[in-house]
Amino acid sequence: MTTVRQMFALQELDIILDRVQHDQVKAEYELSNGDVLGNLETELERDAEWLVETELQQKATKLEAQTQKDRSESLNSQLYGGEITNPRDLESLEREASNVRQLVEKHETTLSEITERIEEAQNKKSELETKLSEARAAWEIRQAELQTAIKELNKERTGFEGQRSKLTEVLDPTSLQHYEALRKSKGGLAVVKVQRGLCQGCRMSLPTHQQQRVRNGHQTVLCSSCGRMLFSS
């Protein structure tokens, strides 16, 4: 005959197995998801692409600035070279030279801003590369730790499953089925202790005659409030 003591022992094994399986699943998930590395690699790749594009913009702006400088020097040469004496022509040339000087200043300002952004991006890229290198080294160590932990947890789980299998062999199928159903519906606790006249599952007080039946241990007694199997140690 299956006793509630056997059911309680089975539940103790199941609680341990739940913990071991939870830890194993958690370790396996962490091992399969290197999110920190992936995020750093993605950020570094994105910043590297932006840096290349900005450096190309810098080259184009430098070229344009130099073109306008050359043009400004040419206009100044014409203005002050003495070859042009017509006041109207000189006035038109001065306006053009002024516009070109403004363009040169604008390009130089833009170039200064771009250069500053590039320096910041290069510093950030260097920091990310350092972080990624450190993260890769740490991840290699963590991977080894997780692999060892999974191996140990799997070994531990196999051992407890063997103990559970031996125990369930001596339990009658009806009692085992009732236990499994209760455990599923009661948050993993099918068998609970009675302490100071209280069911430790629902904390409700038990009638005196029911407490006596639990202490006798001759039959399975269910809590009249929560329906769990009651056990007196």
Q: Report the distance separating Cα 175 and Cα 2, nearest Å.
A: 7
Rg, Å, the chain Cα set: 40
Judge contact between 84 and 98, C-beta under 8 A.
no
Do 139 and 36 form a contact (C-beta atoms < 8 A)? Answer: yes
pLDDT of residue 127: 92
Please state the rounded mean pLDDT for residues 86-113.
Answer: 90
Percent of the chain with pLDDT over 90: 76
Mean pLDDT to the nearest integer, 93-109: 91
**Strands (DSSP E) along 21-121, which ranges?**
none
Are 221 and 214 within 8 A, CB to CB? yes
Q: What is the C-alpha to C-alpha distance for residues 71 and 65, in angstroms, rounded to an integer?
A: 10
pLDDT of residue 1: 56
Q: What is the mean pLDDT of residues 203-215?
A: 92
- Name the band, by pLDDT with cuts 50, 70 and 90, for residue 28: very high
Distance (Å, whole) CA 193 – CA 223? 10
* Dist. CA 115–CA 173, nearest whole Å: 78
Quick one: pLDDT at residue 63? 94
Q: How many CB atoms lie within 10 A of CB 121?
A: 16
pLDDT on residue 229: 95
Residue 13: per-residue pLDDT: 96
Instruction: Tell me which residue of 153, 155, 134 sits closest to 145, measured CA to CA.
Output: 153
Per DSSP, which regions of the chain are E strands?
Answer: 191-195, 198-199, 229-231
pLDDT for 101 equals 92
Q: Report the alpha-carbon distance of residue 102 to residue 131 in Å, rounded.
A: 44
pLDDT in tens, 123-177: 999 999 998 999 899 999 999 999 999 999 999 999 999 999 999 999 999 999 9
Residue 194 and residue 232 in contact, taking contact as beta carbons nearer than 8 Å: yes
Q: Which of 8-22, 56-70, 179-193, 209-223 has the lowest mean pLDDT?
A: 209-223
